[in-house]
């Protein structure tokens, strides 16, 4: 099975499931963003999405409920089934579903219809999703007949910290979380974005929801206890130590405004990650500060300046960077920072 990172999966969904109209099956552990990626892909293309968690559905949800009418016995279909427009059928938790329900999904994908219900042409885009047995979740074997109907391929989604950081900045996840996870992922032997542990699995979902809420909304002991309850005591203590370090860092906006004194000192490497992420976030939110962000990067050490510029290129609108006069006049310096030649940039 082909392993893909989130940015690659988005491309597969767009080019294969949507443009190619070929059913695609996505496998992956809980909490790594499978559903989110499908929803974001649909939204980005201006399409609707019918999200069906198949473990909650029975045959009657697809076939309809028999009702006696003047015309005789008729089956009343599930009201959410699309009748017009354009969208994606997202068949989630597909291997958790009853065998009989999986058989109806087979018919839906294969024929584009179930009994007297026909899927509209604009909705003939199917994406399945589920967990593998190795993910320690509920997972039954997919029947070979159904598996073969996913002619667009089977893909296992693997979390990627660079893809996640780009998404997290755009999604307003606290930059202290982003920088901590990115730093630890690149500098610790253990993975920090996603780690399957018996009691406290680390997942992109946990960082972006629970931990993000605790950091933004809780204080003191309540915050510390909540964070350790979400990611485990050992992991939590490591992250809380980082938050104490980050508390002594000056406001990134001051640095972007031209106060470079902090940049001349020696600091914990993880704080440079925080500053790089903060600069990228400010640039993505306020195009008027892009030049200040670029100036600040040129006062940073090479590897951290490269990190900040790389993030800026991912989260700032391309037109805003392309039209920036300061970048144009200093493009040679930024090429040197990124370690590329003019032909590669």
Domain CATH code at residue 15: 3.40.50.300
In sign, the C-alpha dihedral spanning 127, 42, 3, 31 is: negative
Predicted confidence at residue 137, as pLDDT, reads 63
The tokens describing 102, both together, are 């999986």
- Domain of residue 129, residue span: 2-157
Tell which of 132, 157, 182 closes a domain: 157
pLDDT at 73: 74
- Ranges of residues in the chain with a pLDDT under 70 are 75-79, 135-140, 198, 340-345
Same domain assignment for residues 212 and 98: no
Residue pLDDT, tens place only, 278-314? 999 999 999 999 999 999 999 998 899 999 999 999 9
pLDDT in tens, 29-69: 989 999 999 999 999 999 999 999 988 887 777 777 777 77
31 and 173 co-located in one domain: no
Structure tokens at 72: 């005789």
Clarify whether residues 99 and 199 are in a common domain: no
pLDDT score, position 343? 38
Helix (H) or strand (E) holding 312, with range, is helix 302-315
Residue 214 domain-assigned (yes or no): yes
270 and 134 in a common domain: no
Residue 139: predicted pLDDT: 64
Does 71 reside within a domain?
Answer: yes
| Tokens matching residue 273 | 């990650």
Residue 114: what pLDDT?
Answer: 83
Residues 144, 274, single domain; the answer is: no
Sign of CA dihedral 180, 186, 190, 192: positive
Same domain, 205 and 133: no
Total structural domains in the chain? 2
Q: What pLDDT shows up at residue 71? A: 80
Instruction: Give me the sign of the Cα torsion angle 191, 195, 199, 204.
Output: positive
Look at residue 345 and tell me if it is in a domain.
no
Whether residues 190 and 251 share a domain: the answer is yes
Mean pLDDT over each residue of the chain, to the nearest integer: 90
pLDDT at 341: 37
| pLDDT for res 27 | 95
């Amino acid at each position: 099975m082909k392993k893909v990172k989130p940015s690659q999966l988005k491309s597969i969904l767009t080019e294969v499931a949507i443009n190619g109209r070929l059913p695609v099956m996505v496998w992956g552990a809980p909490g790594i963003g499978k559903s989110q990626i499908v929803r974001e892909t649909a939204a980005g293309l201006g399409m609707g999405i019918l999200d069906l968690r198949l473990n909650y559905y029975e045959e009657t949800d697809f076939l309809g409920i028999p009702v006696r009418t003047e015309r005789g016995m008729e089956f009343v279909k599930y009201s959410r089934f699309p009748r017009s427009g354009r969208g994606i059928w997202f068949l989630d938790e597909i291997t958790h579903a009853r065998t009989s329900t999986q058989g109806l999904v087979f018919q839906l994908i294969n024929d584009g219809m179930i009994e007297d219900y026909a899927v509209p042409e604009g909705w003939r885009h199917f994406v399945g999703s589920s967990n593998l047995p190795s993910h320690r979740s509920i997972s039954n074997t997919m029947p070979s007949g159904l598996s073969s109907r996913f002619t667009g391929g089977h893909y296992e989604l693997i979390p990627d910290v660079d893809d996640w950081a780009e998404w997290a900045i755009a999604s307003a996840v606290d930059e202290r979380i982003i920088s901590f996870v990115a730093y630890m992922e690149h500098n610790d032997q253990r993975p920090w974005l996603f780690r399957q542990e018996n009691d406290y699995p680390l997942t992109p979902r946990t960082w972006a929801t629970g931990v993000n809420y605790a950091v933004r909304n809780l204080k003191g002991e309540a915050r510390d206890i909540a964070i350790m309850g979400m990611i485990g005591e050992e992991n939590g203590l490591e992250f809380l130590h980082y938050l104490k370090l980050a508390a002594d860092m000056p406001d990134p906006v001051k640095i972007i405004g031209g106060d470079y004194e902090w940049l001349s000192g020696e600091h914990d490497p993880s704080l440079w990650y925080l500053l790089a992420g903060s600069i990228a976030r400010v640039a993505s939110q306020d195009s008027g500060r892009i030049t200040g962000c670029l100036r600040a990067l040129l006062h940073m050490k090479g590897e951290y300046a490269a990190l900040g510029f790389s993030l800026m290129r991912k989260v700032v609108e391309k037109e805003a960077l392309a039209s920036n006069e300061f970048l144009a006049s200093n493009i040679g310096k930024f090429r040197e920072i990124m370690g590329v030649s003019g032909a590669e940039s």
